[in-house]
Amino acid sequence: MHAEDLLRRYLEQRRDQGEVELVLDTLSVEDVMQIIGAARRGRADAAPTPPAPGDWRHALRSAGAEVSTATPARRPLEPAPLEAPTAPAALPPDGLVVGTEGNELFGGELAHCQTIDDVAALIKGCRKCDLYRTAKHPVPGEGSAAARLVCVGEAPGASEDETGRPFVGQAGMLLTKILEAIKLSRDEAFIVNVLKHRPPGNRNPLPTEVDACRPYLIRQLEIIRPSVIVAFGTFAAQTLLDTKLSISKLRGAIHRYHGIPVVVTYHPAALLRNPAWKRPTWEDVQLARRLLDGVRK
Ligand code: SF4
């Protein structure tokens, strides 16, 4: 059987199946014309009839196929429209929530803060969670706005609440010594907590309080742009790194917080209770020192 007969039969089958439109698939018009032309050249009894360039209907008609000149009705390709529900569907259950309704990402108050002092002023008047009601003073953080190292702790304790300063009291004095051990004064670093008001009775911060307060820390880090962050204690590490892993699993690695290297170590208050952790803490801050030495701001 000649190629044009095969092609005609194929087209007839498709028409019988209800198709009114020729879809060339991967064949171009020229491909079809070549097939037909080659078939006709191969038939001794047929004079070659060059088809009009680009006119596949003419080419097929020349090959003997019945081709309508009318534009075929387009078969609807779209799926049938969905039937309108008889009753409004119930809303799906609540999903995950990231951030607060303050819309810090889209030009909220924090987006206008250009300095550490701007952020501190906002914290002073913050009412985003209930901790301000029981705290005596906000503790926004202190140190150099150009610090290459930021120390992040959990939340203010009693001494911090009294003074409005982070890491004071015995744990604060130990932090000062830790920094001196890596040749940094407190003034050269920036010292801050995840929460800016003291939870009553030093209880663990609630997730809603962390979510409400986290944007302040993020903005502080954005403004300071430190070379290294040291997370002191489980809570600071888990909050910064958004993980539930224990501090023993987080230590000894260089994590990243928005690209900034993060070293995890024990909280100075924990060192006061467990002196055996002093040595690993020493190793951790030495790692921070090495990162500082290798990273120029
Ligand atoms: S703890 Fe943070 S979020 Fe809560 S009131 Fe204080 S500054 Fe605002």
Residues 5-26 have pLDDT tens digits of: 767 777 777 777 666 666 555 5
262 in a structural domain: yes
Does the pLDDT at position 70 exceed 70?
A: no
Question: Mutation test of ligand 1: which of 100, 133, 160, 196 has the most ligand atoms closer than 8 Å to its C-beta?
Answer: 196
Centre of ligand 1 from the C-alpha of residue 166, in Å? 15
pLDDT value, residue 5: 73
Distance CA 116, CA 263 (A): 23
Q: Which domain holds residue 32?
A: 3-62
Q: Which of 34, 62, 90 is the last residue of a domain?
A: 62
Q: Do 232 and 152 share a structural domain?
A: yes
Average pLDDT, the chain: 81
| Same domain, yes or no: 33 and 146 | no
| pTM for the predicted model, two decimal places | 0.67
Instruction: Write the CATH number for 278.
Output: 3.40.470.10
Number of domains the chain is built from: 2
Same domain, 44 and 186: no
Domain co-membership, 238 together with 119: yes
- Lining ligand 1 with CB less than 6 A are 123, 126, 128-129, 131-132, 195-197, 209, 212-213
Claim to verify: residue 120 and residue 199 sit in the same structural domain: yes
Digit-coded pLDDT (tens) for 138-154: 999 999 999 999 999 99
For residues 115 and 55, membership in a common domain is answered with no
Query: Burial level of 168, CB count in 10 A (0-12/13-18/19+)?
Result: buried
* Residue 50 in this model has a pLDDT that exceeds 70: no
Q: Name the band, by pLDDT with cuts 50, 70 and 90, for residue 233.
A: very high
**Which of 31, 62, 93 is the C-terminal boundary of a domain?**
62
For residues 110 and 255, state if they share a domain.
yes
- Provide the pLDDT confidence category of residue 69 given band limits of 50, 70 and 90: low
Ligand 1 atom 3 nearest Cα: 213
Tell me which residue of 259, 270, 200, 261 sits closest to 235, measured CA to CA.
Answer: 270
Does position 163 have pLDDT exceeding 90, yes or no? yes
In a domain, 279, yes or no: yes
Say if 96 falls within a structural domain: no
Distance 123 CA to ligand 1 centre (A): 7
- Contact, 122 vs 132, CB < 8 A? no
Decide if 136 is inside a domain: yes
Residues 271 and 126 placed together within one structural domain of the fold: yes
Q: Separation of 205 CA from ligand 1 center, angstroms? A: 11
58 and 109 in a single domain? The answer is no
Mean pLDDT for 241-246 is 91
37 and 135 part of one domain: no
Whether residue 112 lies inside any domain: the answer is yes
Q: Are residues 121 and 261 in the same domain?
A: yes
CB 224: neighbour CB atoms within 10 A?
A: 23
What was the pLDDT predicted at 10?
Answer: 73
